[in-house]
Amino acid sequence: MTEQEPPAPQPTTGRRGGVGGTAVLGAVLIVVGIAFFIGQQVDIRWGGETWPFWIIGGGVVLAALGLMQPAGSGLTVAGSILAVVGGLLLYQSWNDHYESWAYAWALVAPGGSGLGMLLHGTRHGNPRMARDGFWQVLTAAGIFVVGLVFFEGIIGLSGDPWSLPQWILPVVIIGLGALILVLAVIGGREEEPA
């Protein structure tokens, strides 16, 4: 009996199919260059009130690069956080409403990180990551709304408080507590062995 020789290794190109992150980065740079060129021709000023667009754009690019890689969840989360920060800064600079950081921080973390987890988990078929991201986004929205009602409606951080009834804050806190309690009970039932 003769031994068969193992097949010769095939050269690898380093590509796993699809468009690589480097190609996307190149395409993004081309689009940015074209935008600058058009901006020069029609006299668009990229400074002033539009500076948060740079932060939003950087976040979108990072998130897109992360979404193209199965192990790129860190880039996706970082890009989502950066894009949310840019969006908040854009709103605040256009409306001169920087006081909103008192409650808007919840949209950055856990909101931005949850958005990144939701996007990456959905894109790459990781239901647990997507579910955890969804709950982070929902938690962020709840914290934001409670903060908005408290700081703007009751205290009047940006001016006069809204004419809200005195009972609104306790009711919101009780409702949030009840929601958390129900979710904890439902989650505890799911973890019990059958």
Lowest mean pLDDT among 36-40, 159-163, 185-189, 190-194: 190-194
Q: Indicate the domain borders of the chain.
A: 22-188
Question: Do 56 and 86 contact (CB within 8 A), yes or no?
Answer: yes
pLDDT of amino acid 158: 79
pLDDT of amino acid 14: 47
DSSP H helical segments within the chain, as ranges?
21-41, 52-67, 73-95, 101-106, 113-123, 127-148, 168-191
152 three-class SS: helix
pTM of the model: 0.66
| Length, in residues, of the chain | 194
The model's pLDDT over 158-172, given as tens digits with 9 standing for 90+, comes to 777 776 666 666 777
pLDDT of amino acid 192: 54
Question: Do 88 and 55 contact (CB within 8 A), yes or no?
Answer: no
The model's pLDDT over 66-106, given as tens digits with 9 standing for 90+, comes to 998 888 889 899 999 999 999 999 888 888 888 889 999 99
